[in-house]
Structure 1
Amino acid sequence: MTTTRFFVCGSLCEGMIHFQKIEKFVESSVFARIKATAYRLKVGFPVLVRGGSDLVPGQLIELRGSDLLIALLDEFHGCNPMDPDKSLYSRVEVDVFPEGASESIKAWCYFVNPLKLPVNANVIPGGDWKKSIEEQPVMTSKLTERQITYIQKLGKSTGREIVPIDLALYRELMNLELIVDKGRRLALSKLGQEVYRHLG
């Protein structure tokens, strides 16, 4: 088992929806910042783009695990180290500035591929994604149990079977742009797929 340092922000931070995926591997965690540009996706969570002068807050974590853990994190982020240009994210070693430390520390960080950044993503002023989420909560926190259950059913379906829905729920999810009507069956929209991914 080796220990690998990562800088994380958004859904992988402590207290956020995806922290449980890495929690049992975390050896240490401290508040830290990196220089980058943070964008807010329509689903409400932030992504980082390399470059920029904002000091984006997050956590410097040490993960204890094998190469398999890193491969799983790469897969979760849609990162293919062999073909970074076609990947959704790239994993890059960067300088991280832990709170209270006099020097920066090298750690891995996932940056979204600028070519894959959705057109409806907005720059977060100053990179403060936590403040942005406090002011406008993420989409997954606004959904009802019925809406969540249906999105999860659609997300898990192979696409062949018809997942029944009532008219009221159909209207709600269509208004939220989370589903698309393909004639004889419903499917998750791109935004719906992103929401499904962030439901844990």
Structure 2
Amino acid sequence: MTTTRFFVYGSFCEGMVHFNKIQNFLESSVLARVKATAYRLKVGFPAIVKAGSDLVPGQLVELKSSELLLSLMDEFHGYNRHDPEQSLYSREEVDVYPEGSSAPVRAWIYFLNPLKLPVNAAVIPGGDWKRSLEEHPSLTSKLSEKQVTYIQKLGKSTGREIVPIDLTLYRELMNLELIVDKGRRLALSKLGQEVYKHLA
């Protein structure tokens, strides 16, 4: 089986919420950096845009490659190889700088489509998203167990059924802008969908 190099950052790094998605395919991993600009999304996790000269930290991983893994990674990042311009992210091969090595290596990375960058996204100074998360933890880490459970239930629902909620929880989630009231039923807001995606 062949291996494929990826530069991963944010929620896909070791110890983060989505690392388990690639853990079983992992052949090797080293700390590395890539030239780009990192933005902090409202959910708290970073997105990287292909522009700028910040050396953004992450991990260079070698994964046991398969079409299935690539399809799952593409799907998670909203990348459609048949329509890259309309995709949420693009998958590109770029120079990555492993720690302790002077020579760059080529690896795949998911860049956020600049046209899809939310207006409330903030540039992370120097690209240091790890420090940004330490200083201001992600929204997902601030939620109560009750809030997490409800978001997961709503996220898994088909949208036709009514997911019961009490008034206190309703107010909390509305104030956090995680749900929208559609009259007869509730649904996750855009931010709520992002939070749902980042829950373990």
Matched, 1:4 2:4: yes
Superposition pairs for residues 1-200 of structure 1, below 5 Å? 1-200=1-200
TM-score, normalising length from structure 1?
0.99
Q: Which runs of 4+ in 1 moved over 6 A?
A: none
| Aligned-partner SS, 2:24 | helix
Q: Which runs of 5 or more residues in structure 2 are unaligned? A: none
CA RMSD for the aligned pairs? 0.6
Measured against aligned partners, the alpha-carbon deviations of 1:115-149 in whole angstroms (never above 9, x if no partner) come to 11111110000000000000000000000010000
Q: Distance in 1 between matches of 2:146 and 2:2?
A: 42
**Paired letter, 2:103:** E
| Aligned-partner SS, 2:94 | strand
Q: Distance in 2 between matches of 1:36 and 1:67?
A: 27
Measured against aligned partners, the alpha-carbon deviations of 1:97-131 in whole angstroms (never above 9, x if no partner) come to 00011200000000000111111110000000000
Q: Distance in 2 between matches of 1:199 and 1:49?
A: 23
| Aligned-partner SS, 2:33 | strand
Q: Distance in 1 between matches of 2:17 and 2:100?
A: 27
Q: Distance in 2 between matches of 1:84 and 1:51?
A: 17
Aligned residues: 200
Q: Between 67-76 and 160-169, report the one with greater CA deviation.
A: 67-76
Q: Distance in 2 between matches of 1:36 and 1:194?
A: 23
Identity among equivalent pairs (%): 77
Residue 67 (structure 1) shift: 1.6
Q: Which runs of 5 or more residues in structure 1 are unaligned? A: none
Q: Distance in 1 between matches of 2:70 and 2:160?
A: 33
Q: Distance in 2 between matches of 1:183 and 1:175?
A: 17
**Paired letter, 1:7:** F
**Paired letter, 2:154:** L
| Aligned-partner SS, 1:22 | helix
| Aligned-partner SS, 2:81 | coil
Q: Distance in 2 between matches of 1:15 and 1:89?
A: 23
Measured against aligned partners, the alpha-carbon deviations of 1:67-119 in whole angstroms (never above 9, x if no partner) come to 22111100110001111110000000000000011200000000000111111
